[in-house]
A and B are shown apart, each in its own frame.
Chain A
Amino acid sequence: MAIVEHTDSTGLSGDDGVRRRDFINIAAVSFAGVGAVAVVLPLIDQMNPSADVLALASTEVDLSAIQPGQAIKTTFRSQPLFVRQLTEKEIAEADKVDASTLRDPQTLEERTVDGKKQWLVTMGVCTHLGCVPLGAGEGENKGEYGGYFCPCHGSSYDTAARIRKGPAPKNLEVPKFSFTSDTAILVG
C-alpha cells in the first residue's frame, strides 16, 4: 500500500508518527481482503461434489451368486467395483508372498474382513491413471500374478489385488465396507 506522505498539518498523528488515516487505510483494505476471500470460498467450493453425487456414495452388493474363483463388476460412486471370491489356491498364493517386499506392503488379512478372507472387495480403478483393470470378467487377462491386469500401461496386480509390476504406485483400493448378512455387503 502506497501511503502518500503529507506534512501533517492537522495534528492528527500521534507521537509515534502513525496517523489515524494510516489505520483507516489498512483497516479498510484488510476488510475488503477478508470480504474477497469470503466470496472466493463458495466460488471454489461449488466445484466439489454436489449433494446428489454424494447421496449415491454407498452401494449394497449381493454375494450369493459369486462362486469361488469368480468375480463381479459393479459400481460404487459411479466407478467400477470388483468383488471376488478367492479360491484356496489364490489365498495361498497371496499369503506366500512376504508383504514387506512389496511396493505397497499389505497382507491379504489387512485387505479383507476378519474371518472372511475369501471376499476381496476392491475398486476397479488402476492406481496409476484410473483405467479399469482386466481380470474380473470371465476369460479376461489376469496378468502374470493372476489377479488383475491394467491394459493401459501394463500394471499387474496379484490375487490380493496388490501391485506387483508396472507403473501403478498402490494396491487396488479397498473401499470401506461391512457385511450386512452372510451374503451381502454394504460398500461406503
Chain B
Amino acid sequence: MSFPWAEQYTPKNPVMVWIDDKLPLPRLAYNAVGAGYPVPRNLNYFWNFGVLAGLALMIQIVTGVIMAMHYGANDLVAFSTVEQTMRDVNAGWLMRYAHANGASFFFIVVYLHIFRGLYFGSYKAPREMVWLLGLVIFLLMMATAFMGYVLPWGQMSYWGAKVITGLFGAIPVVGEPIQTWLLGGFAPGNASLNRFFSLHFLLPFVIAGVIILHIWALHIPGSSNPTGVEVKGPQDTVPFHPYYTAKDGFGAGVFLIAFCALLFFAPNFLGHPDNYIEANPLSTPAHIVPEWYFWPFYAILRAFTVDFFFVPAKLLGVLAMFASILLLFFLPWLDTSPVRSGKYRPTFNKFFWILVIDVLILGWLGGAPAEEPFVMMSQVAAAYYFAHFLIILPLISRSEKPLPLPGSITEAVLAKYGKTDGATVAVPAE
C-alpha cells in the first residue's frame, strides 16, 4: 500500500504460501503494520499516540469483558455487584481500577493524538478522511465513556445520566419524548441501566471497526510527518517494522509505566467519592461534575446563562456544546493554508498555543462550581474557542507568510544532524 516502493509480501514457508493463496490475512498485516508499510523517517514521539490509543482500547475491551462477567445490569443489584467485584472477585479490584483509569488514559492519549493532528496539520488534504473518521471515533468514545460511567449506579452515575439525557430535553417540542425514549422511563431507572450496558458493550467494537477504516484511510496517502512535506522518494521513508514497531514499543512502555503508577498508587484520584454512594433519585449531590475528559465541553454547556433572540439559554448551551465538536468536522476546509506543519507557520503557531491554553482553561472551568467568576470566564473562553476556528484560523491561513519549507524530509533530517551535503543522500539502512 501507499508508496510504489512498498515491499511486497513474499511468503517462503509453504504453509504461509498456502494461507496467502486462500486468505491473504498475513499479507494484510504485513502491508498495514509490517515491513510493507513505508513511513516517513522523521516521525517524532507525537506519532506514538495512535498506536497507544489502540493499546488503550485493547485494555478497555479485555478488562471490560471480564467486568461484564461479574456485573448485574439491574438497578437493584448493579451497585452491589460492582462492590462485589471490588471486594470478593479474585483480582476484581484490578480489573475495575484498570477499566476506570484505562478510560482516562484512553482520553489522555486521544487528546494528545488530536493535539498532534492539530499542530502538524494532519487533517489537511489528502488526509481529510482520516481526520473525519478520527472525529467519529472520538464521538463514539464519548458516548461509550458516558454510558460506562452510569453502570456502577452510584450517585454520580445516576445524576450524570439525568443531566446528560436532560440535554436532549432542551430540544423544542420533540425534546421530552426523546428524553423519555432514551431513558425508557421518566427518570433513569432499570430500563436505562440495561440499555446503557448493552450499548456500552457494543460500542467499543464499533470503535474498533471505525479504527480499521481510520487506518485504511491513512494508508492511502501514507503517514504525515513533522515537516508536513510529502514523501518524495524511497530515501524519505523507512519500513514500519522494525523501525516504528520499536519506537511505538518504547512509547507503549512509557505509557504503561504511567498507567500503572496511577492504577496502583492513586486509583481513585480521577474519580468522585460520591459515586461510592448508591444512586438516590431523591438527593442530588451538591456538586455534579462529569469525568475530567468532558470538562471543556461541560464548561461550554454552562457558559450560556441568558436567552438570545427567544432561544432559551439551556438550548443554546446544548447547541454550543455539540457545535464545539461538530465544528472540528469542518476544520480541513476552515484552515486553507497549504503549509501543513505548525513549525513553519509563525502566526498560526502563536494562536495555536493560545487555543491550547484556552481549552485547558475551559477544562478547569468545567470542573469548577457554577458560580462567578467561573461562569463569566467560561463565557470568554468558550467565545474564544469558536472565534479561533471560525475567524482567526481562516484569516491567518490567508494572510500568514510561512517560513521556508525544507526541500524534502531527508534534507530536513540531514540538516538537523549537521549533514548538509545533499549529494550523499542516504538510502535507509535495511
The CA-CA distance from A47 to B165 in the complex, in Å, is: 14
21 CB-based A-B contacts, threshold 8 Å: A48-B181, A49-B180, A49-B191, A50-B191, A53-B184, A53-B185, A75-B282, A77-B187, A78-B281, A79-B281, A80-B282, A127-B314, A129-B163, A129-B167, A130-B165, A154-B370, A167-B302, A167-B305, A167-B314, A168-B314, A169-B312
Which residues of chain B are within 8 angstroms of A75 by Cβ–Cβ distance? Answer: 281-282
Known contacts A49-B185, A129-B166, then 15 further A-B pairs from the complex at CB < 8 Å, ordered by chain A residue? A47-B195, A49-B180, A77-B185, A78-B186, A79-B187, A80-B282, A130-B165, A131-B288, A132-B281, A132-B284, A153-B302, A166-B305, A167-B314, A169-B312, A169-B315
In the complex, which residues of chain A have a beta carbon less than 8 angstroms from the beta carbon of B315? 169
Residue among A77, A127, A152, A166 facing the most chain B CB atoms (10 A cut-off) = A152
User: Chain B contact residues (Cβ within 8 angstroms of A): what range?
Assistant: 35 or more
User: Do most interface residues of chain B lie in helix, strand or loop, or is the interface mixed?
Assistant: loop
Interface residues of B in 155-198 (CB under 8 A from A): 159, 162-163, 165-167, 169-170, 180-182, 184-187, 189, 191, 195
CB–CB A131/B313 < 8 A: no
Q: Are the CB atoms of A53 and B163 closer together than 8 Å?
A: no
List CB contacts (< 8 Å) of B57-76 with chain A: none
Name the interface size band of chain A: 20 to 34
The answer, yes or no, to whether A151 is at the interface (CB within 8 Å) is yes
Residues in chain A near residue B313, CB distance under 8 A? 167, 169
Q: Does A19 contact B (CB under 8 A)?
A: no
Scan residues 61-87 of chain A and give those whose CB is less than 8 A from a CB of chain B.
73, 75, 77-80
Chain B residue at minimum C-beta to C-beta distance from A154:
B370
Given known contacts A75-B281, A79-B281, A152-B163, is B317 in contact with A167 (CB within 8 Å)? yes
Contact residues of A between 109 and 146, Cβ < 8 Å to B = 124, 127-132
A29-60 vs B, Cβ < 8 Å mask (1 yes, 0 no): 00000000000000010011110010000000
CB-contact partner of B304 in A80, A129, A167, under 8 A: A167
Name B residues whose Cβ lies closer than 8 Å to a Cβ of A. Answer: 159, 162-163, 165-167, 169-170, 180-182, 184-187, 189, 191, 195, 281-284, 286-288, 302, 304-305, 307, 312-315, 317, 370-371
Q: What CA separation (Å) do A124 and B187 show in the bound complex?
A: 12
- Taking CB atoms, residues of chain B closer than 8 Å to A124 are 282
Closest CB in chain A relative to B75 CB, distance in Å: 10
Among B166, B184, B302, which residue has its beta carbon within 8 angstroms of that of A49?
B184
Chain B residues near A48 (CB, 8 Å)?
Answer: 180-181, 184
B160 to chain A, nearest CB (A): 10
Minimal beta-carbon separation of A8 from chain B (angstroms): 42
A184 to B159, CA, bound (A): 31
Cα-based distance from A47 to B304 in the complex (angstroms): 31
- Report A5 CB to chain B, min CB distance, Å: 33
Contact across chains for A151 and B286 when beta carbons are under 8 A apart? yes
Whole-angstrom CA separation of A60 from B203 in the bound complex: 41
Asked if B191 and A53 sit within 8 Å, CB to CB, the answer is yes
Contact with B along A15-38 (1 / 0, CB 8 A): 000000000000000000000000
Contact between chains at A50 and B184 (CB < 8 Å)? yes
Query: Bound state CA distance, A168 and B180, in angstroms?
Result: 19
Interchain nearest-CB distance for A46 vs B (Å): 9
Within the complex, what minimum Cβ distance (angstroms) separates B376 from chain A? 13
